[in-house]
Amino acid sequence: MAIPAFLKPRILVAAAAALALSACFGAPEAMKNNSGKRPVASKPNRPQVVGTPSFTGAEAQQCAFELKQAGVRFTPLPNQDHGGGCSSIDSVKLLDIGTPVSGLGAMTCPLARNFAAWARYAVKPAARKYFGSEVVKIETYGTYSCRNIYGGRSGRLSQHAYSNAIDVSGFVLADGRRIMLDGGWKGDSDSQDFLRALHKSACRRFGTVLSPDYNAAHYNHFHLDMSGNGYCR
C-alpha cells in the first residue's frame, strides 16, 4: 500500500535532510553506525522535499561548483524517492570526467567529485607509472541500486541504495590490456602494484573502500562509497 499523500512529504523531508547532511560532510562518528540504515523521520533542520529541484542547499551547491571547477561535465538530477527507503538526493549523472567510464548511474555529488578526482589524479598517473600506458576506460558494475548490503542479515540498505557508492571492476589501457580486479589483484606484480596503489589512494578519498581482501563478495571489484570515515579494507 502506498504511503498516504499527507504523510509522504514529512518522511521524505527528513530523509532528504539526513542524506544531504551526511553526503556533504561525510558521516561523523555519531552517524557512522546509522549509515546505511533506513532514514528515520525526525524534524529536519533544512526542509528539502523529494521531487522538488535538487542542489538547493549551500553544501550541495558548493559541491556542484567544485565539480564544475574540476572541468567535469555532468547533469544534476532531480531528487528522487525510489521507494523502499532508496533515494537519489543531490545527485548527478557524470557525462565526462576525462576518461570514459562504463555503467555510471546516479551518484551523490560528493561521490562523483571524489571519483572524478581519483580517476584523474590516481588512476591515470598510476597507469603511466606501472604500464607506461594511458587508461582509456574505467569499467564499473554501477552506482545506484536499491539493495541491502551483500549478505547482510540485518536488512540494512547498501550505500548503493542512496546513489552513494560505486563498484569499480577494472581498467582498459590504450594498448588494449585490461587490468581487472578479478585476476589482477592476485595477478602479475605490475597489476598487483597498480591496483594496490589505487586502493591506497581511494582510501584517502572515500569514506569506505572495500577490496578483494575484504571478503569473497568483493573478489572482482573495489566498492567505494562516501559513508564512514576512512574504513579501508
Sites of contact with Zn ion (CB under 5 A): 165, 167, 223
* CB 168, CB 160: distance < 8 Å: no
Q: Looking at beta carbons only, is 48 or 159 nearer to Zn ion?
A: 159
Q: Looking at beta carbons only, is 13 or 161 nearer to Zn ion?
A: 161
DSSP state, 51? Answer: T
Give the whole-angstrom CA distance, residue 201 versus residue 22.
22
CA-closest candidate to residue 116, choices 130, 91, 133, 95 = 95
Strand partners, 212: none
Give the whole-angstrom CA distance, residue 10 versus residue 25.
23
Q: Looking at beta carbons only, is 163 or 201 nearer to Zn ion?
A: 163
CB of 162 to Zn ion, least distance (A): 12
Q: Which residue is nearest to Zn ion (CB)?
A: 223
Q: Looking at beta carbons only, is 136 or 203 nearer to Zn ion?
A: 203
CB of 160 to Zn ion, least distance (A): 6
- Give φ, ψ of 172 to 5 degrees: -105, 130
Q: Taking each helix axis from N to C terminus, what angle separates 58-69 and 8-25, rounded to the nearest 10 degrees?
A: 50
Pairing status of strand 73-76 against strand 222-225: unpaired
Cα dihedral 25, 46, 16, 39, rounded to 10, equals 90
Place of cell 594498448: 175
CB of 167 to Zn ion, least distance (A): 4
Q: Looking at beta carbons only, is 57 or 139 nearer to Zn ion?
A: 139
Hey, what's the cell of 150? 551483500
CB of 142 to Zn ion, least distance (A): 9
CB of 67 to Zn ion, least distance (A): 21
Q: Looking at beta carbons only, is 113 or 221 nearer to Zn ion?
A: 221
CB of 214 to Zn ion, least distance (A): 10
